[in-house]
Structure 1
Amino acid sequence: MDVVSDAISAVRIGRPSSNRLRVSGSWCTRLAPYEGAGFHVVLTGGCRLLAEDGTALTLGAGDAVLLPHGAGHLLADAEAGEAAFGRAVPFEHWLTGSAPRPERTGAREVELLCGKYRLDRQRVHPLMAELPQVVHLPARVGSRPELSAAIDLLGRELDGQRPGACIALPSLLDLLLVYMVRSWLAATTSGAWPGVLNDPVTAAALRALHSEPAAPWSNDRLAAEVGVSRSTLARRFTALVGRPPMGYLTWWRLTFAATLLRDTQDSLATIARQVGYGTPYAFSHAFDREFGTTPGRYRAGNQGGQD
């Protein structure tokens, strides 16, 4: 696994949900804060978005927006003003089929793909935590071909109930999340993690730790794997990531273990081996120190109802 895949997998719960909506005329809808991540893709037409942190965007066809921390926000027609925002209708009302429909032929119509990802906020990887409240990915011809292709595939899949849709749609929505995070990493000029992943030494060390979290890593072994001195590795890794290599490894092993406890029925002994602990006792002690609860209690409180 790579860092981005692991960062997403550690927090994602169950299956994403989505709705394709067509609205027209004058409209405004309110989406309440959500314990997860929300997204919108404008398939046709245009609209406005106003987030609770004050971010205001004008969106056009092909634009995508990710709200990775579940911020509350408003969506409205492209010409909406302050008065319209004050009359916002809860988004849930639209899902019952009450979204505004054309009152006349030729009325401007907007087609939206709106959805949510359920996320476990207990173990957010710092890469995901660093994402801003609103990630705007405007459509620019040729700039994000993978994201554009995923949006196109989603639009086609949502045209009708095709064979295999129950598998295809959640998979495409997961792909959309990966491409949105990847696009942000490629485009942003702020934040630590784009720099982390672009630094050859730190990125190589992270790849090694994430590929084999159970390996008997030491600073010397990791430095040799990366091809630098121990002091160079420690200095660059700590400066960029914010904790030393072995400290990060311990945190990631236990975060990965929490994901296994949540998503599998593997025994504690099996999970302990998968994350580099020699005995269930050593694993349980480390887990309790990190999460303030035992692996068994953690599993009991986090399994079930994931879809």
Structure 2
Amino acid sequence: MDVLSQVLAAMRTGRPRYRRIECHLPWGQLYPPSPGAGFHVVLQGSCHLMPTAGDAIALGVGDVVLLPHGRGHAMADDPGTPPVEVECPPDDEFQLRRTTGPGRTDGTPPSTVLLSGTYPIDQRQCHPVVNDLPEIIHLPAHLGQHPPLRTAIGQISEEIRHPSIGSDGVLSALLETLLLYILRAWYQDHGTGPGWGPALNDPAISTVLCRIHHNPERQWTVEGLGAEAGLSRAAFARRFTALVGQPPLTYLTWSRMGVAAQMLRNSDAPLGTVAQRVGYTSEFAFSNAFKRTHGAAPGAYRRRNRSLQLR
């Protein structure tokens, strides 16, 4: 599994929440901050996205927007239309049914149809691959750009227009694919800028990142990781640090502690098993490393997160 897929799998806490919204002129919707990455796909018509700071962004049919950090924002037919807050029950995860947005409801056709929702993400274990993303990613529907992304949006639109048996499952799977295509498109377009784009697009460093995430239990050394990259120890260490922003073993420890935190939250595995899974033969050494990263010993971290889940 490649590093982007591994990172998203570790951060995700559930399937995407979504709803289809029909909007009638005039209309405006206010979206409060959410614990995840928000998204909108314009299925019909046009509209504007208004961030909390900055200029409005004009959106057309086929455009897709991702808000990786879950920032609050508004959507409207016009930047001057006052928005009303969107109500979305917390247990309302999978909605393919029509939801009538604000505006006239006298039987006139909607001016805009949106597919809007959230990808649940554990913000406590947010990887730099997401942290480095801008507040808003807007991918317009330009002909010939990012064909796989455009194909996914077309499949989503078709499934919504003609729902059938299994549509909720199909749409959920397509939205999972859409997220990967959005991030792939962004990092392909920004592979030479600051942040994680150059690291993901560098074959040698990307290979090493995959090895680290796939085998956190291995007793990795800088020399061994360099061999995976086909580079000498010194050349690899310089290249990795320059692209990733951390020395190899520092990133290795950070990644291991992320895997450990996920196991502590989601399983009843003994601490010794968790320690071994992330490359530690000593529970004492593992506990010290975990506390330096997360600010709490593994047992305390597990109890605290279990109590939060029960609320």
Q: Is the 8 A contact 2:24 2:105 kept in 1?
A: yes
Change in Cα spacing, 1:166 to 1:108, as seen in structure 2 (3 Å) is closer
SS in 2 for 1:43: strand
Change in Cα spacing, 1:96 to 1:224, as seen in structure 2 (3 Å) is closer
Q: Which moved more, 1:132-141 or 1:151-160?
A: 151-160
1:127-168 deviation per Cα after TM superposition (whole angstroms, max 9, x unaligned): 110000000011122322222222233333334663334533
* Structure 1 stretches of at least 4 aligned residues deviating more than 6 Å after TM superposition: 93-96
SS in 2 for 1:158: helix
2:262 counterpart of 1:267: no
Aligned to 1:194: 197
- Unaligned 5+ runs, structure 1: none
SS in 2 for 1:69: coil
1:223-254 deviation per Cα after TM superposition (whole angstroms, max 9, x unaligned): 12221111101111111211111111011011
2:4 counterpart of 1:4: yes
Query: One-letter code of the match for 1:158?
Result: I
Aligned to 2:283: 280
Q: Is the 8 A contact 2:22 2:99 kept in 1?
A: no
Pairing 1:159-198 to 2, within 5 Å after superposition: 159=161, 162-188=164-190, 190-198=193-201
Correspondence for 1:119 among 106, 118, 121: 121
Pairing 1:17-56 to 2, within 5 Å after superposition: 17-56=17-56
Alpha-carbon deviation of 1:45? 0.9
2:134 counterpart of 1:132: yes
Q: Which moved more, 1:28-37 or 1:144-153?
A: 144-153
Change in Cα spacing, 1:125 to 1:196, as seen in structure 2 (3 Å) is same
SS in 1 for 2:39: strand
SS in 2 for 1:150: helix
Partners of 2:244 and 2:301 in 1: CA distance: 27
Alpha-carbon deviation of 1:121? 1.5
Matched pairs, number: 300
Partners of 1:127 and 1:158 in 2: CA distance: 31
2:248 counterpart of 1:258: no
Change in Cα spacing, 1:305 to 1:236, as seen in structure 2 (3 Å) is same
Q: Is the 8 A contact 2:49 2:73 kept in 1?
A: yes
Pairing 1:59-138 to 2, within 5 Å after superposition: 59-77=59-77, 80-82=78-80, 84=81, 87-92=82-87, 97=100, 99-101=102-104, 103=106, 109-138=111-140
1:192-251 deviation per Cα after TM superposition (whole angstroms, max 9, x unaligned): 211112223322322222232211110111112221111101111111211111111011
Query: One-letter code of the match for 1:164?
Result: G
Q: Is the 8 A contact 2:29 2:102 kept in 1?
A: no
Q: Is the 8 A contact 1:220 1:230 kept in 2?
A: yes
CA RMSD of aligned residues (A): 2.5
Q: Is the 8 A contact 2:24 2:110 kept in 1?
A: yes
Change in Cα spacing, 1:134 to 1:275, as seen in structure 2 (3 Å) is same
Change in Cα spacing, 1:151 to 1:261, as seen in structure 2 (3 Å) is farther
- Unaligned 5+ runs, structure 2: 90-97
Query: One-letter code of the match for 1:229?
Result: S
TM-score by length of 2: 0.87
Q: Which moved more, 1:245-254 or 1:5-14?
A: 5-14
Aligned to 2:15: 15
Q: Is the 8 A contact 1:102 1:109 kept in 2?
A: no
Alpha-carbon deviation of 1:12? 1.6
Q: Is the 8 A contact 2:34 2:71 kept in 1?
A: yes
